[in-house]
Amino acid sequence: MKETEDDLIVTGQDIQEPCPEGTHPALLVDCFAGETDVYDGKEVNTVWLVWQVFPVDEDGNTLRQADERVFQAERKFTRSITPKSKLCEFLEIWRGKKFTPEERAGFNLSKLKGVPCFLKIEHNYSGENCYANVMEATMFTNEKGDPVTDKTKWPKIEKYVRGDYSKRTNKNKQATAAPVGNGVAGAAIHVAGAGAAAAVAQADDYIPF
């Protein structure tokens, strides 16, 4: 676009278009420790999961943002896999199996990096703003419903730069919130949960992580 003296053109590469609604192939590209949030006066550690998402239209073409970048979605969780935690429920649906007591003692979330899934996206609106919410991740399967174990058939990661998530915290009570971890890509992020129940395996023995 040619700029004239009457134009003032600005761009923002950090601006992400909301991913389309629906269930789409996706690849987890990042997981890192977030800031400490405050709920009801209690500080809780958090963790972010970030996916690149590859929606497909009716003709089988992969949809992209207007500037040709891949869509991106993320979700923040409390850093815990106790049986009633949101992260535990989310990951167990994705992997198709309950966590074992040994895994609950200390599970390395970095295992998830590079693992594909089908990601369910729903939109929420606040005024004129549209937000793409990650609702659920399920195992990456083929048309027959079988897990895709051949990594050559997995989605491929594209250029990714971690955004600034430091301001996306919850401080519903006045309290001092300190950062947790260094948030460096590739660093091991461990979560733990107490009081684990015995693992209940599904029919398929394959576990993606």
Stretch 85-106: mean pLDDT, rounded?
95
3-state secondary structure of 138: strand
Whole-number Å distance between alpha carbons of 112 and 185: 12
> Per the domain annotation, does 5 fall within a domain?
no
3-state secondary structure of 93: helix
pLDDT value for 134? 98
pLDDT value for 170? 54
Stretch 131-151: mean pLDDT, rounded?
96
> Per the domain annotation, does 17 fall within a domain?
no
> Per the domain annotation, does 205 fall within a domain?
no
SS3 content of the chain, % helix, strand, coil (to 5): 10, 30, 60
Dump pLDDT digits (tens) for 179-209: 222 232 345 677 766 433 323 333 357 889 9
Give the number of domains in the chain.
1
> Per the domain annotation, does 51 fall within a domain?
yes
Tokens read off for 74:
């993320």
pLDDT value for 165? 80
Tell me: pLDDT of 138 over 60: yes
> Per the domain annotation, does 153 fall within a domain?
yes
Tell me: pLDDT of 6 over 80: no
Host domain of residue 55: 22-80+106-159
Whole-number Å distance between alpha carbons of 159 and 89: 30
* Chain mean pLDDT for the chain: 81
> Per the domain annotation, does 98 fall within a domain?
no
CATH of the domain at 126: 2.40.50
Percent of the chain with pLDDT over 70: 76
> Per the domain annotation, does 66 fall within a domain?
yes
Q: What are phi and psi of 147, to 5 degrees?
A: -60, 135
Dump pLDDT digits (tens) for 13-56: 457 899 999 999 999 999 999 989 888 888 999 999 999 999 99
> Per the domain annotation, does 135 fall within a domain?
yes
**Other CB atoms closer than 10 Å to residue 140's CB: what's the count?**
21
Tell me: pLDDT of 152 over 60: yes
